[in-house]
Amino acid sequence: MLDHPNADYRILTAADVPAYLAGLPAIAGRLGGQPADWTCQDVADGNLNSVFLVDGPAGGLCVKQALPYVRVAGESWPMDVSRAFFEFSYGQRIAPFVGRLAPAIHHFDAAQFIIVMEKLSPHIILRRAMIAGEHHPRVPEDVADYVAAASFYTSDLAAPFESKAADQAIFARNTALQRISVDLVFTDPYAVSERNRITAPLEAWAASFRADIDLKAAVTRARLTYLTRAQSLLHGDLHSGSIMVTQAETRVIDGEFALVGPSGFDIGNFIAHYVMAWYAKPFHESGATSVGVFRDHLAADIVLFWDRFEARFLSHWRGFAGAADGLPASHFSGPAGAARAETLRRAYVADLFRDALMFMACKIIRRVLGFAQIADFLVITDEAVRALPQAAALAFARSVLLYPERYGDIAAIVAALPRFDAAGLDPAVTRGE
């Protein structure tokens, strides 16, 4: 049944794509020429979907189809194809706020669960760039702008509450992918699960996390926050594998995990992948710069990202003059009102920071002890070596979850990174740090 979401649905192969696009003349016009002139390449490297890049004499297109199962796992793990609808709906909803920071979406096929969008070229996935030691200095600020605009303008701070309620009515149905987040991020890494893929030398770390009642209590708070704090429309999977870059441009792709949830979730996820890149870097290329210099870039980027997010979010809010229910202007008029409104804004952003750190830590742990591992670590082929930066990342994440009061600002986060660099394979050694 899942193989046939509807009578018309069929799984596209690279050979089918030109004929498919020929059936959409308005869109295929962007390719120029005739179907015979088009080349099509299967580039799926994500976990879930088919992705084809098509080139014609006049330009390129990207064709993404949701499969009725998880691509990397195969047909044994069925997955609702309507995730393509949610990715499309998310893209439509945030386009006015993020502009060129997301690819242009040209078409959605509701029967085939296909999105046709702008082909990003010569953009590459940020994660690969990081692993290769290529630094992209625009990324932190571009992604900060993206998250600040999306999380402000889809919240109750920037609109009558009916606007977010309409998003909830739609995205509350995106449960198939949220089930993945709930299980793989917040639950499996702290339990014995056959889905977990643990680097063998990390077995002691995994066992200590499974036994760590304080850590699991902190994760319970994080999971409940994820499930109940309905602040804004989120991307839901905003890591370095969902960002495509050139030196001049940044694009956020792959919004199929979209949900109305805690704004700190996207923020924390993005930072988590910079942290993991920082720990992995000594085992990678570092390009033209030394490892130390590249790490300094990454640490500086984390600070830049948060500072820019905070500044942009506050400036959207301060400049907002429309009707909104979050902080009604009528309650905060006059100089005293303006001063208090500013206090409330800063308190709101401080809450986002705390949430972001909590989610950052959960995202690090799930990438080390859970199902969906990341290339930053996997490219280190020797498990005995790979376990070292992974252990450091775990030790750092645990510290943030257990001792949040030590991490009061973004400077404290980057200052802490080197402290866990040599955490090692015995989880007890750094337990109180």
Ligand X SMILES: Nc1ncnc2c1ncn2[C@@H]1O[C@H](COP(=O)(O)OP(=O)(O)O)[C@@H](O)[C@H]1O
Decide if residue 4 touches a second copy (CB under 8 A): no
Decide if residue 53 touches ligand X (CB under 6 A): yes
Cα–Cα dist 149/92, whole Å: 14
Buried b or exposed e, range 232-242, using 16+ CB within 10 angstroms: bbbbbbbbbbb
**Residue 122: cis peptide before it, omega within 30 degrees of 0:** yes
Cα–Cα dist 140/270, whole Å: 9
What distance, in Å, lies between the first and last C-alpha atoms of the chain? Answer: 51
Decide if residue 14 touches a second copy (CB under 8 A): no
Over the window 251 to 290, marking each residue x when it contacts ligand X by CB under 6 A and - when it does not, the resulting string is --xx-x----------------------------------
Number of Cβ within 10 Å of residue 226's Cβ equals 24
Buried b or exposed e, range 186-214, using 16+ CB within 10 angstroms: bbbbbeeeeebebbebbeebbebbeebee
Cα–Cα dist 374/57, whole Å: 36
Decide if residue 65 touches ligand X (CB under 6 A): no
By CB under 6 A, the residues from 111 to 150 that bind ligand X are 117-120, 125
Decide if residue 245 touches ligand X (CB under 6 A): no
CB of 357 to ligand X, least distance (A): 25
**Residue 78: in which H helix or E strand, if any?**
strand 74-78
Decide if residue 229 touches a second copy (CB under 8 A): yes
- Kindly give, in sequence order, each residue whose CB lies less than 8 Å from that of residue 106, ignoring residues fewer than 6 positions away: 27, 30, 61, 116, 117, 118
Of 5, 18, 46, 133, the one binding ligand X (CB under 6 A) is: 46
Joined tokens for residue 137: 């200095």
Closer of 320 and 332 to a second copy (Cβ): 332
Q: What are 70's strand-pairing partners?
A: 74
By CB under 8 A, the residues from 331 to 360 that bind a second copy are 331-332, 336-337, 340, 343-344
- Kindly give, in sequence order, each residue whose CB lies less than 8 Å from that of residue 149, ignoring residues fewer than 6 positions away: 94, 97, 98, 312, 316
Decide if residue 14 touches ligand X (CB under 6 A): no
Of 5, 91, 103, 133, the one binding ligand X (CB under 6 A) is: 103
CB of 90 to ligand X, least distance (A): 12
Closer of 245 and 394 to ligand X (Cβ): 245
Over the window 204 to 243, marking each residue x when it contacts ligand X by CB under 6 A and - when it does not, the resulting string is --------------------------------------x-
HSE of 95 in the Cβ direction (CA atoms, 13 Å)? Answer: 12
Decide if residue 430 touches a second copy (CB under 8 A): no
Cα–Cα dist 87/253, whole Å: 9
User: CA gyration radius for the chain?
Assistant: 22
CB of 276 to ligand X, least distance (A): 17
- Minimal CA–CA distance to 232: which of 304, 294, 316, 288? 316
Closer of 9 and 306 to ligand X (Cβ): 9
Joined tokens for residue 362: 């959960």
Over the window 149 to 178, marking each residue x when it contacts a second copy by CB under 8 A and - when it does not, the resulting string is -------x---xxx-xxx-xxx-xx-x--x
| Binding residues for a second copy, total number by CB under 8 A | 44
Stretch that binds a second copy, among 51-59, 115-123, 269-277, 326-334 (CB under 8 A): 326-334
Decide if residue 36 touches a second copy (CB under 8 A): no
Give the type of residue at 92: Q
Decide if residue 246 touches ligand X (CB under 6 A): no
- The number of residues making up the chain comes to 433
- The contact set with a second copy (CB under 8 A) reads 156, 160-162, 164-166, 168-170, 172-173, 175, 178-179, 182, 186-187, 190-191, 213, 216-217, 219-220, 223-224, 227-231, 325-328, 330-332, 336-337, 340, 343-344
Chain residues that interact with ligand X, rule: CB under 6 A: 43-49, 51, 53, 62, 64, 103, 117-120, 125, 242, 253-254, 256
